[in-house]
Amino acid sequence: MKKIAIVDFGGQYTHLIARRIRDLGIYSEIVHPESFEVNDDIIGIIFSGGPQSVNAEDAFRINLDIVNNNIPILGICYGHQLLAKMVGGEIESGENKEYGFTNITCQTDAILFNGLEKEQKVWMSHGDHVCKLPKDFKITASSDSIKIAAYESEKYFGLQFHPEVTHTKNGMQMLENFVTCCTNERNWNVKSFKQQLINEIREKVKNRKLVLLLSGGVDSLVALELCIQAVGNENVYSIHIDTGFMRLNESKEILEHFDELGFKNIKIIEAEEQYLKELYCVVDPEEKRKIIGKLFVDIANKELVELSKKDEFLLVQGTIYPDTIESGSTDKAALIKTHHNRVNEIEKLIKEGKIIEPIKELYKDEVRKLGEELGLPHKLVHRHPFPGPGLAIRVICSDKTETEDDYTKEEKYLNEILLEFDMQGKILPIKSVGVQGDFRTYHHPAVVWFKEDASKSWNVLNECSSKVINKLKTVNRLVYSLEPVGDLQLAKLFLEKQNLDELRNVDAILRKRTDDIKAIWQMPVVQLPLRNTEDKLCYVIRPVCSMDAMSASVYEMDFDYLKDIISEVQKIENIGDIFYDITTKPPGTIEWE
C-alpha cells in the first residue's frame, strides 16, 4: 500500500500528523528515525516536531541520502530545522521563542500556501529557528519574530509552525497541498478500523476472559463495548474502583448508565478510605499519580486473583493516545506527565502481555466516532472527559504557607506588559504543568484583571495571554479574574475528604450551568492552595474547546454569564475568588497537574 511515512522525532503531535494525513485519504505510518528505510511504498515523508535542539550532540538524526532523494519531504517544527540543516542551512538558538497563536505573512505563489490568503494565523511552538538557507531554497513565510517561518525548494518543504493542530486555521489545506505533491490518489478509508480493532482483540484474547477497569468515562466505556462485541458479554467483567475522587454521584450514575445498556458483570469497590490514607500529606503531582496508579493495580489484582481461580484473564485499559504521548512515547520524547495507566506496575504488566489497550492509538474524537459506530447512546459518548485520577489532580496540594521563589522582577515585568492591555496582574505562588516547545514546564500561573474603567474583551485577553507567556520565563499559564485581586496567601492543602467534598459541590454547580454549552469540550474545576483576604479558598475553572485533547482553545464565555455562575458558586461557604483559565494548549495542559 502506498503511504506517507511520519518520522517520529519525539514530538507531542506526531500521531496527530499521521491522523491528519489519513483524514486526507492517504495511509500514513509512523516510523522511528534510527530504523527508517526508504522503500517503494513510500510516496512522501514528513519529519515531525520534537523536544530537542537540532544543534545538540545527542539530537535525533536520520540516515537518509538527502542529495539523491526524490521523495517529497515536509519538515514540521524540529523537522523543519533538521531538514534545513541536512541540506546545508543554519539553525540558531536565541530569544525569539514563540508559543501559541502567531500571524505569518506567506507567499501565495508557494506550493504549500497555494489557494490561501497572504496573512495566516498559525500555531507556533519553538525555541530554535532556521536563520540561513541554501541558495536553491526560498523563504515562503515570515512572522514578526522570525524571518524564516516556512521555506521550500523543488521537493523539500519546511514549516516552523504546526499545520496539524486545529488552531492553525488553514493547516489542513497546507497538508493537502503537500499530499498533492506526493500523489493524486485518495484511497484510504478510516471507517474500517472498527472491525480491525475487534479482530485484533479476538486474536489477542483467544480463549481467555477480559477484565476491564471501568472509570465511567468515554474511553473505558468504548473499550468495554468494543470488547463485548469482540468476545461476548459473558466473557467480559468490569471493575469500577470508587477512589473517593469521583464527581458528585459519579459511581451511582455509572451503575445506572450500564444497567440501561444491559452490562451486568460490573462490580464497584469502595476504596475512598484506602486512597485518602495512602495519599495523606502527599503534595507532589507526579507522586500522586504514581500512588494512584499503583494502588489501582493492587486493588484490581486482588479481584483478578479471585476471578483467575475460575478462568485465565487479560486486563483491559481504556488508554488513548494522548495518555501515552504525554508520558513520553519515544526514547527522546519529553515527559509531560505520568498518566495513571503508565505507572511502573502497569508498564510491567504490559511487557508481560497481561494487558490489552484496544484504543491506545486513537484520539478522543476518534473514540467518540468509534462509540457511535458501536451503537452506544450519543449522550454517553459525548460526555465531558474525566481524568482517571479524578479530582485528586484537581486539588493543587501544598505543605507550605510561604513560597520559596522570588519573582519580584518577573511580576514587575508582567505589569509592564499589562499596561499595553489596560490590565493589572500578579504571579501566583503556586505552579502548574505546561508544555512548551515539546518540553514539560512546571512554572507559575499569573492572574490578570482589567483596570476599573477598561472595557472587557476576549480579543484583548487572548492577545495578552499569548504575549505574557511568550515573554515571561517563569509563567506558563494565565488566569483571568472579573474583579481586582487582593492579597493571596499560600495555604496548606491536602487530599482530605472535606476539601474533596467542597470541590465536588463546586464542580457539580458549574457543570450544571455549563453542560448545555456544546462548544465546551471539557471544564476542569481546580481547587487552589490560596486563601483570599477573607480567608476563603480560591478556585480556577478551565472551559476548553478541543477535538482530540492534543491541543485546546479557550472557551470565550459571556462575561455577564460568567459573573452570574461565579456568584452562584460563591454562595457556598468558604468559596473565595474564582479565576478563569485563559491559556490555550499548548502552552498550558488541559489539567493543571
pLDDT in tens, 462-485: 999 999 998 998 899 999 999 999
Q: Distance between CA atoms of 521 and 334, rounded to whole angstroms?
A: 26
Per-residue pLDDT of 248-305, as tens digits, reads 988 887 778 778 878 878 888 999 999 999 999 999 988 998 899 889 878 877 877 7
Burial classification of residue 338, based on how many CB atoms lie within 10 Å of its CB (0-12 exposed, 13-18 middle, 19 or more buried): buried
Catalytically active residues, by annotation:
77, 162, 164
- At 95 the pLDDT is 62
Let me know: does 344 contact 382? Beta carbons within 8 Å: no
Which of 394, 408, 395, 406 has its CA nearest to residue 491?
395
Q: What cell was used for 187?
A: 484511497
Q: Distance between CA atoms of 220 and 216, rounded to whole angstroms?
A: 7
Signed CA dihedral, 175, 176, 179, 185: sign only: positive
Expressed in percent and rounded to 5, the helix, strand and coil fractions of the chain are 35, 25, 40
Which of 228, 175, 185 has its CA nearest to residue 16?
175
Alpha helices (H) in 111-217, listed in sequence order = 171-182, 193-205
Q: Distance between CA atoms of 561 and 145, rounded to whole angstroms?
A: 37
Alpha helices (H) in 135-279, listed in sequence order = 171-182, 193-205, 218-231, 250-261, 272-278
Q: Where in the chain is the domain with CATH 3.40.50.620?
A: 190-390
Please name the amino acid found at residue 203: E
Give yes or no for residue 350 having a pLDDT over 70.
no
Q: Distance between CA atoms of 263 and 354, rounded to whole angstroms?
A: 23
Q: Distance between CA atoms of 534 and 314, rounded to whole angstroms?
A: 53
pLDDT category, 323, cuts 50, 70, 90?
Answer: low
Q: Distance between CA atoms of 367 and 360, rounded to whole angstroms?
A: 10
Let me know: does 444 contact 490? Beta carbons within 8 Å: no
Residue reference for cell 530537542: 52
Give yes or no for residue 344 having a pLDDT over 70.
no
**More confident call, 86 vs 196:** 86
CA dist list (Å): 501 to 296, 395, 454: 21, 11, 37
Q: Distance between CA atoms of 426 and 415, rounded to whole angstroms?
A: 8
Q: Distance between CA atoms of 323 and 328, rounded to whole angstroms?
A: 9
| DSSP conformation class of 403 | -
Q: Distance between CA atoms of 440 and 47, rounded to whole angstroms?
A: 21
Q: Distance between CA atoms of 148 and 206, rounded to whole angstroms?
A: 54
Q: First vs last Cα of the chain: how many Å apart?
A: 42
Per-residue pLDDT of 24-66, as tens digits, reads 999 888 888 988 899 999 999 999 998 888 888 888 889 898 9
Q: Residue 439: beta bridge partners?
A: 436
Give yes or no for residue 383 having a pLDDT over 90.
no
Find the largest Cα–Cα distance for the chain: 72
- At 522 the pLDDT is 92
For the domain spanning 190-390, the CATH number is: 3.40.50.620
Q: Distance between CA atoms of 442 and 419, rounded to whole angstroms?
A: 26
Signed CA dihedral, 445, 332, 147, 76: sign only: negative
Q: Distance between CA atoms of 375 and 313, rounded to whole angstroms?
A: 26
Under 8 Å CB-to-CB from 285, ≥6 apart: which residues? 337, 393, 433, 593
pLDDT category, 189, cuts 50, 70, 90?
Answer: low
Let me know: does 151 contact 137? Beta carbons within 8 Å: yes
Q: Distance between CA atoms of 474 and 452, rounded to whole angstroms?
A: 27
Per-residue pLDDT of 482-527, as tens digits, reads 999 999 999 999 999 999 999 999 999 999 999 899 999 999 999 9
- At 565 the pLDDT is 97
pTM listed for this prediction: 0.73
pLDDT category, 174, cuts 50, 70, 90?
Answer: very high
Burial classification of residue 560, based on how many CB atoms lie within 10 Å of its CB (0-12 exposed, 13-18 middle, 19 or more buried): exposed
Q: Which residues of 452-479 are buried (b: 16+ CB within 10 A; e: fewer)?
A: eeeeeeeebbbebbbbbbbebebbbbbb
Q: What cell was used for 180?
A: 498533492
Q: What cell was used for 132?
A: 540561513
Decide which of 3.40.50.880, 3.90.1640.10, 3.40.50.1000, 1.20.1630.10 is the CATH code for 3-182: 3.40.50.880
Q: Distance between CA atoms of 356 and 201, rounded to whole angstroms?
A: 8
Residue reference for cell 512554572: 443
Under 8 Å CB-to-CB from 148, ≥6 apart: which residues? 84, 129, 130, 131, 133, 139, 142, 158, 160
Q: Where in the chain is the domain with CATH 3.40.50.880?
A: 3-182
Q: Distance between CA atoms of 593 and 586, rounded to whole angstroms?
A: 14
